[in-house]
Amino acid sequence: MVKKLNGLLGEYDLSYSLWQVIFYVRNFGPCTLVEICKYYEVERPNVTRMVHRLEEQGIVEQIPGKDRREKVIHMTEKGEGIYLACRTEITSLERQAMKGIPEAQQKILFELLPQIRENLNDQGEEIH
């Protein structure tokens, strides 16, 4: 699925990782690097690189926050357009993936996925 998403997003010079940042900023509003890092459980240097790349592409911009050390990431008008175009194509891909699966079963799947993710996160902590 990620391979298909990368192919789709590649048309916009994006990857799935970059899309995750766009998705977060678009859906949760202006935010900081720390908020994105916590949400996706990713190291700050990785998110910093992604935000800089998106900034170079004109998709997001960083504006000084209340604390001068922290910048707030905002979606640009261009970024909004790219988000909407990608979202349309991703929705189509999601429909294709769920084709033939009754809505009731899809609902169960989406209810279970957060628990599966939590279990995998807990398992990773037990191993280390």
Would you call 62 helix, strand, or coil by DSSP? strand
Q: Please name every residue paired with 71 in a beta bridge, in sequence order, or none if there are none.
A: 64
Residue with tokens 């799947």: 109
The model's pTM is 0.81
Give just the sign of the alpha carbon dihedral 78, 49, 61, 17.
Answer: positive
| Rounded Cα gap, residues 39 and 93, in angstroms | 24
Condensed to tens digits (0 to 9), the pLDDT of residues 81-128 reads 999 999 999 999 999 999 999 999 999 998 998 899 888 877 655 544
Q: What is the DSSP letter of 31?
A: B
